[in-house]
Amino acid sequence: MWFQNARVHVHETAATVTQQCPNCSNSTEFKLLWNKAGPGLGIPVVMWFTDKTTITTHKQYHLGCPICGYAERIDKNVAKGLIAEGEAK
């Protein structure tokens, strides 16, 4: 479970990756997560509650365990491949 703090988003259409979690040792389907990263421009008070109005320089991608919340960072090209594979289905 990931906290919905307006910073980490689950990419719903991306393909999942089945692997064993190094944190909880469960074999599960890891989901693609992303967050805005780098210097950002936005309205300060609004940025505390949502990042929809925030403009940043890039995104970071992670694979996340839906059981314990563990996430490991992955390369942008790997994430783009998972997105393309999920949309092709």
List of residues 6+ apart from 13 with CB closer than 8 A? 83, 86, 87
pLDDT at res. 43: 66
Predicted confidence (pLDDT) per residue in 29-87, tens digit: 999 998 877 666 666 666 666 666 677 777 899 999 999 999 999 999 999 999 999 98
Q: Is the CB of residue 9 less than 8 Å from the CB of residue 53?
A: no
Query: DSSP assignment of 68-84, as one string?
Result: T--EEEE-HHHHHHHHH
Largest CA distance in the chain: 41
